[in-house]
Structure 1
Amino acid sequence: MAEEKILRCSKLLAQQGMTIAFAESATAGWLCSEFALAPESGKVLKGGIVCYDAELKKKILNVPNELIEKHTPESREVTEELARRLGELIASDIQVAVTGLTGPGGSETPDKPVGTMFISAMIKGRLVNFRQVFSGSCEDVIHETVRAAAQLLINELE
């Protein structure tokens, strides 16, 4: 069964006749799969791209290498760019992008520790952002990020 907030968000999207697409890095498609479990998925979900590796961010979504080198693949700036460019590949009313650090070995710093997650959403051409540091296992961080993404969308749609 889908996450409660995903169900609420999916219902809001359907009521407003809106569609959604995802570009996921750190969550590796988990967010998109949660929306696929909602009863309204056939009406609202367009699809998603998993771009875990930075090369995919560049090659599939055309994120400039300079932006990735300057800000790292796990950054607000790159996440925003993913959200902006996703609409060129998947026509939808909302484009959601997620990057972040679910475990060690990425671009973590004292200001961006493991657990830092970035969500950007283009909602009918308007960009909204979310940054949060979650704690726990990789799976815990992903679950919290999925809930946070749904809540971000709910806040914008209500």
Structure 2
Amino acid sequence: MTDQYLNECGNWLLQRKLTIAFAESATAGRLTAEFALLPDAGKFLKGGFVCYDASLKETVLNVPGKLVEAYTPESEAVTEAITRGLVPLIPADIHVGVTGLTAPGGSESPEKPVGTMFVYGMKTGNRIFSERMVFAGSPEAIILQTISYTAKMIIDALLPDKPA
């Protein structure tokens, strides 16, 4: 994947000597993989954890089952929880979690259609962004759009005039 925001994000991380880790559900490791393909990725990418199944969110990332039941595995609340659950597993400066609906068969509804994606980012334990987006296209197209938009959110959060 060649993407302006992804390449720029890698450069921003390198310039600031920041490290990053991902907790991925709907993107199933693709976000981590795309960051791994950037130049000098070993200097900023710590790793990622794929928690596609809700049980992994609960057992490995310590997301309360009641939270998953109340809000669904693909929700803003659960995305924040998987991001926070990643912190003790993979030490990094920035932690990003992603959940969402890339294809039918999850918790889609008229209010949350297929293409709805949730991204939550933290820098040293503090929220730097939280976003709900709706993308169109095939599952792969939705994932690629999510990756690009996530990279843009990281860049925007790291801009000097924005609070970290």
**TM-score, with normalisation over the residues of structure 1?**
0.97
Aligned equivalent of 2:32? 32
Aligned pairs, number: 158
Question: Could you say which residue in structure 2 is the equivalent of 1:102?
Answer: 102
Contact 1:21 1:95 in 2 (8 A): yes
Match for residue 140 of structure 2?
139
Report sequence identity in percent. 54
2:82 alignment counterpart: 82
Structure 2: gaps (5+ residues): 160-164
Please name the residue that 1:153 is paired with: 154
- Measure, in 1, the Cα distance between the counterparts of 2:145 and 2:132: 12
Match of 1:118 in 2: 118
Give the Cα–Cα distance (whole angstroms) in 2 for the partners of residues 85 and 58 of structure 1: 9
Write the distance in 2 (CA, Å) between the matches of 1:16 and 1:144. Answer: 25
Report the AA paired with residue 139 of structure 1. Answer: E
The residue type paired with residue 112 of structure 2 is K
| 3-state SS, counterpart of residue 89 of structure 1 | coil
Secondary structure of the corresponding residue to residue 32 of structure 2: helix
The 1-side partners of 2:112 and 2:12 are apart by 33
Paired residue for 2:131? 130
For 1:3 and 1:36, the matched residues in 2 are separated by 13
- Residue 2 of structure 1: how far off its partner (Å): 4.6
Aligned residue for 2:84, secondary structure, equals helix
Which 5+ residue runs of structure 1 have no aligned equivalent?
Answer: none
Kindly report which structure 2 residues correspond to 1:2-13, keeping only aligned pairs within 5 A, or say none.
Answer: 2-13=2-13
Aligned-residue RMSD, C-alpha: 0.9
Cα offsets for 1:76-116 (capped at 9, x unmatched):
00000111121110000000000000010100111100100
Q: In the TM superposition, what is the alpha-carbon distance from 1:137 to its structure 2 partner? A: 0.6
Deviation readout 1:37-79 (Å, 9 max, x if unpaired) = 1112010000000100000101110101000000000000000
Is the 1:2–1:38 Cα contact (8 Å) retained in structure 2?
no
In the alignment, residue 46 of structure 2 is paired with which amino acid? K
Separation (CA, whole Å) in 2 of partners of 1:125 and 1:103: 31
Query: What TM-score does the superposition give when structure 2 sets the normalisation length?
Result: 0.94
